[in-house]
Structure 1
Amino acid sequence: MNPILNTDSYKYSHFAQYPPQTAAISAYIEARSGGAYDHVLFFGLQMFLKDYLSRRVTREDVEEAADIVTAHGLPFHREGWELLVERHGGAMPVMIEALPEGMVVPTGTPLVQIRNTDPDFFWLPTFLETALLRAVWYPSTVATVSHSVRGMIKASLERTCETPDEVLPFRLHDFGARGATSAEQAGIGGAAHLVSFLGTDTVAGVVYARRFYHEKMAGFSIPAAEHSTMTSWGEERETDAYRNMLVQFGGKGKLVAVVSDSYDLYRAVKKIWGGELRAEVEASGGTLVVRPDSGDAARVPIDTIEMLGEIFGHSVNAKGYKVLNPAVRVIQGDGISPDMIRRLLTGLEDRGWSSENLAFGMGGGLLQKVNRDTLRFAMKANSRQDSEGQWHGIAKDPKTDPGKASKRYRQAVILKNGRPEAVPLKDLNGDVNLMEPVWQDGKLLKDWTFAEIRARATAS
C-alpha cells in the first residue's frame, strides 16, 4: 500500500496545525487501564516494521497521494513528502522504541514510543498513528486473550492433572481463520495466539511466525473431519464414515479428530464409537478425539466425556480426578469464548474430571470478537521539542472522562519491586529503561525470534 495513504483523512491537515518552531513530536502507545484485562501481552510490532514501514515512499507514491488527497477535499503536504523522498530516499525519518515483544505488563504501561529524527518532519510521528496503532492493538489484544486463557487452563490443569506442563500447550486450538476479515488478519492474529499455545488450524499464523519471526514451525494440527466429509457418506453409512477416519489416520501414537454431531451426537457416541467401532478404536493404539459441534456448549462436551468414560472406562489420577481411557478425548470447537472455557473447566472439576480430557477450539472469540476498546488502546503525543532542542511535556486531561488522561513527557519503563512501571524519561535516575530502540530511519534495530517472544510470554 502507498505509505502516504495508510492513515486517516484528517491527518493530512495536521502538518499545518502544530506551533511554530516545533522540531519534534513524541507519541506513545498504551493499553489504558479499565479494559477487559488488567495486563497486556505486547506482540506484533515487528510484523509491521518489516512489512509496512520498510516500504519506502517513492515519487510515484507522492503523485498518487496528491491526486487522491486533494480530490478527497484535503490539503496535501507535497513539499514535505517530496523532501522525504529527496533527503531520506523515501525512508521514514523516525525513531521507534518499544518493550521487548512477548513481555507481559500491567495496562497503562507504554509499549511503543515514536519521535521524528529530522526536525523538518515533526508532523510525521502522529501522521503514522493510524497504521502504527492498528499494528499494535490487534495482535497484542489477541495475544492477551490467548495468554489469559492459558493462565486459566494452566490453573485447572495444576489442580487436576498429573502432567500439566505436558498437556497445556495444546489445550487451546485456533479455529479462527475463516472468521477473519482477511488473510492478513488471520496471519497476524494466528501468530499472536501461537505465542501462548502450539495448536492451530490457522495456517496463515504459522506462515507469519516464519516470515517475520524466524520460526520454522510455530504450531501443529492433526487430521480432522468436517461435516462435508462425514455427511457425504449419508446417514445410513455414518459408521463407515467414522471407520474410514480410523483406517486413514489412526494408528499407534496418532491422534484423529472426528466431528460426530452430523445427525445425533449421543447416538454416535453410544452406538457407533462406543458400540460398533469400540474395538477398532481401542485396537488402533492412537487417540480418537470426538468433537461435539452443536448444542449447549457448557453441557454437551461434559456429557460426551461422561458417556465416553462409561463406555471406554477411566482411571483416577494421583490428584483424585478422573481421566479417560487414553484411546479417547474430546475437543469442543463451537461457542467457545474465554467465559465458556471458564464454565467448562469449572463443570469438569465439579464432576470430578481432570481438565486434560477436554481441549478447546476457539474461532471468532479469539481472532474476531476483539476491538481497540477491548484493552482501551490509544496513541497520544506526550512531548514537543522546540527549535532550541528543549522538550516540553504535553498531554490531554479531559474533565469529562478522567480515564482518557494521557501521560506527559517522553516515557520510560522501569522495573519497580519487580513490576513494570512507567516514568518520565527525564526522571529515569539511572534505572534501566526497558524500552529499546527497534527502528530508526528505515532500519530495523531489533529482530526478535518467536522463541524469544514465547519464552518471555510463557514465563509470565
Structure 2
Amino acid sequence: MNLILNTDSYKTSHYLQYPSDVKFVSSYIESRGGRWNRLLFYGLQMFLMEYLSKKITKEDILEAKEIITAHGMPFNEDGWNYILNEHGGKLPLEIEAVREGSVVQTDNVLVQVRNTDPKLPWLVGYIETALLRAIWYPVAVATNSYFCKQRILTALRETGTPELIDFCLHDFGARGVSSYESAGIGGSAHMVNFKGSDTMSGIVFARKYYEADMPAFSIPASEHSTMTSWGKASELEAYANMVDKFASGLFACVIDSYDTFNAIELWGRLFDKVKASGGRVVLRPDSGNPVTMASECLEKMMDIAGYSLNQKGYKVLPDHIRMIYGDGIDPQSIGDVLAELKLRKISSDNMAFGMGGALLQHLNRDTLKFAMKTNAVSHDGINWIDVRKDPATDPAKRSKSGRLALIRQGSLYKTIRFDELGDRQNKLITVFKNGELTSKVSFEDIRTRVSKFNERIGL
C-alpha cells in the first residue's frame, strides 16, 4: 500500500496553504460524544505496525505523482523526496496516545501528533484520513462490545453466574463487514472483551499485532445447508448425526430450518444421548422476534428436559443443554431478551448471544463523533501558539486548543493543557517517533487494563 495515496484528494494541496513561518503543527484526536459516554481505546498499534512504520520509497513517490497530477491535484514531489533522502523514507512524526485498553470518557484527547522536522508541517494533516480511520473503527467496535458485556454481566449477577461472561457474546460478524481487514480489526476488538468468536481473521490480527496466544475459541456448529441437505423428512437423522459426531464435547445446532418448536421436540429424543456422552448441545433458533423466541424456546426446552432452580430462584436447564440466539441481535435486543427472561424467572445462564453486523458493521465515525483537529502551531518547536476551530453555528464542534495532556483523577480522565501538567503524570505516552514504534502493548496487557478499570468502578 502506497501511504502517499492513503489520504483524501484535497490533502495533496495543503502543503501550499500553511503560513510560511509555521514550522510545526500539532493535532489531536478525540471522541466528541455520541452513543456512549466513555470508550475503550484499542487498535492504534495495528495501524502503526502495518502502515505508518513502513518507509516511503522512490516507487511510491513516482506512482503518487502520476496518479495525483492526472487527478488534477498538485503534488508535493519535493516534500516527499525530502522525506526519502533526509529521513530514509521514515515519517518524521511523533505520536502520543493513551494506552490501549484504557476506558476513557468521551470529550478527551486520545491521540496527539506533531511533525519533528520543521520543513514538514504539512505532514501532520496529510495522515489525518488514514490515522483517524485507523482509530474510530476499532474503538467503536471495542466500545460496542464492552457495553454489551456490562449489560449481560448485570443480568448474570441478578439471575445466574457472572463467571460465565467471557463466552456470552459470540462474534458472527465476519461475513457482514466490508473487507477481510475490517473483520480482522473489528474481530480482534471484540476479543478484548469476550473469548467467543467465529471471526477467524480477528484471531490472526490479535496474534500478529498484539502477540496474543489464542484470544478466542469456537465450537463445532451446523448451518442450514448441512441440515437441509438431509431433507425435511430426515430432520431427526440430521440432528442425530450431529450427536454421533460431536456429542462428546460442546457443539451447536441450528433448529429453525423448518419448524423451530418441532425441532426442539425432535431434539428431546436425543438429549439423553448427549448427556450420556458427557457433552453439551447448544440449540440455535434464529427466526422470529428474538425476545419472544428466546424465552419461548427455553421454556419449551425446559418442558421437555426439565430444569432446576439456582440459588437466586431462577430456572436453569440441565448442564448438557443450552441455547444461543444469533439473529436480530444488537445491544437493544440483548437487553430486551434478558429483561424478558428475568420476568419469566429464567436464568441468563441458559443462553448466549451471537451478534454479526450490529457488532462489527453498524457503526461509523459519527457513532462516537470522532474528529482530528489542529490544536497548536509553532515557529520553533518550543513555543506553541493556540489554534482551534470554533464555529458560531455549532458550539459542539468547538475544538481544544494548545498542546494537550491527559491526566487521571480516580477512575476518570481529564484533558488539560500540557503547560499546566506540573508534576502530574501524563497518560499520553509516545508510541511512534520518526518511523519507529516506541512502545508496544500485548493483547493480555490490554485485557488486564480493562479488567482493572472494571474492578475500580465496581463492575
* Pairwise CA distance, 1:282: 2.8
User: Which residue pairs with 1:103 in the alignment?
Assistant: 102
Q: Secondary structure at the match of 2:74?
A: coil
User: Which residue pairs with 1:52 in the alignment?
Assistant: 51
Whether the aligned pair in 1 keeps the contact of 2:94 and 2:116 (CA below 8 Å) is: yes
The answer on 1:365 being equivalent to 2:363 is no
TM-score (structure 2 length as normaliser): 0.97
Whether the aligned pair in 2 keeps the contact of 1:291 and 1:331 (CA below 8 Å) is: yes
What amino acid sits opposite 1:202 in the alignment? T
Question: In the aligned structure 1, how far is the partner of 2:121 from the partner of 2:210?
Answer: 31
Q: Secondary structure at the match of 2:4?
A: helix
Q: Secondary structure at the match of 1:378?
A: strand
Question: In the aligned structure 1, how far is the partner of 2:116 from the partner of 2:275?
Answer: 67
User: Which residue pairs with 1:83 in the alignment?
Assistant: 82
Match of 2:267 among 268, 273, 278: 273
The answer on 1:433 being equivalent to 2:426 is yes
User: Which residue pairs with 1:257 in the alignment?
Assistant: 252
What amino acid sits opposite 2:10 in the alignment? Y
CA deviations on 1:373-401 (whole Å, 9 max, x unpaired) are: 00001111101011474201101011111
CA deviations on 1:72-129 (whole Å, 9 max, x unpaired) are: 1111011100000000000000000000001000001111110000001111011000
The answer on 1:332 being equivalent to 2:325 is yes
Question: In the aligned structure 2, how far is the partner of 1:347 from the partner of 1:255?
Answer: 26
- The number of residue pairs the alignment matches comes to 453
Question: In the aligned structure 1, how far is the partner of 2:393 from the partner of 2:430?
Answer: 35
The answer on 1:218 being equivalent to 2:215 is yes
User: Which residue pairs with 1:236 in the alignment?
Assistant: 233
Question: In the aligned structure 2, how far is the partner of 1:327 from the partner of 1:85?
Answer: 63
Whether the aligned pair in 1 keeps the contact of 2:24 and 2:381 (CA below 8 Å) is: no
CA deviations on 1:4-60 (whole Å, 9 max, x unpaired) are: 000000101111111121111011111112x00001100000000000011110111
User: Which residue pairs with 1:422 in the alignment?
Assistant: 415
User: Which residue pairs with 1:184 in the alignment?
Assistant: 181
User: Which residue pairs with 2:401 in the alignment?
Assistant: 408
Question: In the aligned structure 1, how far is the partner of 2:80 from the partner of 2:32?
Answer: 33
Q: Secondary structure at the match of 1:119?
A: coil
Whether the aligned pair in 2 keeps the contact of 1:273 and 1:281 (CA below 8 Å) is: no
Question: In the aligned structure 2, how far is the partner of 1:438 from the partner of 1:146?
Answer: 25
TM-score (structure 1 length as normaliser): 0.97
The answer on 1:73 being equivalent to 2:72 is yes
Question: In the aligned structure 1, how far is the partner of 2:345 from the partner of 2:272?
Answer: 26
User: Which residue pairs with 1:299 in the alignment?
Assistant: 292
CA deviations on 1:376-434 (whole Å, 9 max, x unpaired) are: 01111101011474201101011111111110011110012441110011111211000
The answer on 1:22 being equivalent to 2:22 is yes
Whether the aligned pair in 1 keeps the contact of 2:271 and 2:321 (CA below 8 Å) is: no
Question: In the aligned structure 2, how far is the partner of 1:400 from the partner of 1:116?
Answer: 31
Equivalent residues in 2 for 1:387-402, closer than 5 Å: 387=380, 389-402=382-395
CA deviations on 1:166-198 (whole Å, 9 max, x unpaired) are: x00000000000011110000000000000000
Whether the aligned pair in 2 keeps the contact of 1:13 and 1:76 (CA below 8 Å) is: yes
Whether the aligned pair in 2 keeps the contact of 1:96 and 1:438 (CA below 8 Å) is: yes
Question: In the aligned structure 2, how far is the partner of 1:389 from the partner of 1:319?
Answer: 62
Q: Secondary structure at the match of 2:365?
A: coil
What amino acid sits opposite 1:267 in the alignment? N
What amino acid sits opposite 1:415 in the alignment? R
User: Which residue pairs with 1:5 in the alignment?
Assistant: 5
What amino acid sits opposite 1:18 in the alignment? Y
Question: In the aligned structure 1, how far is the partner of 2:283 from the partner of 2:316?
Answer: 15
Residue range with higher mean Cα deviation, 308-317 or 79-88:
308-317
What amino acid sits opposite 1:137 in the alignment? W
Whether the aligned pair in 2 keeps the contact of 1:249 and 1:256 (CA below 8 Å) is: yes
Question: In the aligned structure 2, how far is the partner of 1:398 from the partner of 1:143?
Answer: 31
Equivalent residues in 2 for 1:164-183, closer than 5 Å: 164-165=162-163, 167-183=164-180
What amino acid sits opposite 2:305 in the alignment? F
Question: In the aligned structure 2, how far is the partner of 1:221 from the partner of 1:345?
Answer: 23
Task: Report sequence identity in percent.
Answer: 49
Q: Secondary structure at the match of 2:367?
A: coil
Q: Secondary structure at the match of 1:392?
A: strand
Whether the aligned pair in 2 keeps the contact of 1:23 and 1:389 (CA below 8 Å) is: no
Q: Secondary structure at the match of 1:121?
A: coil
What amino acid sits opposite 1:443 in the alignment? E
User: Which residue pairs with 2:457 in the alignment?
Assistant: none
Unaligned runs of 5+ in 1: none
User: Which residue pairs with 2:308 in the alignment?
Assistant: 315
Question: In the aligned structure 1, how far is the partner of 2:103 from the partner of 2:195?
Answer: 19
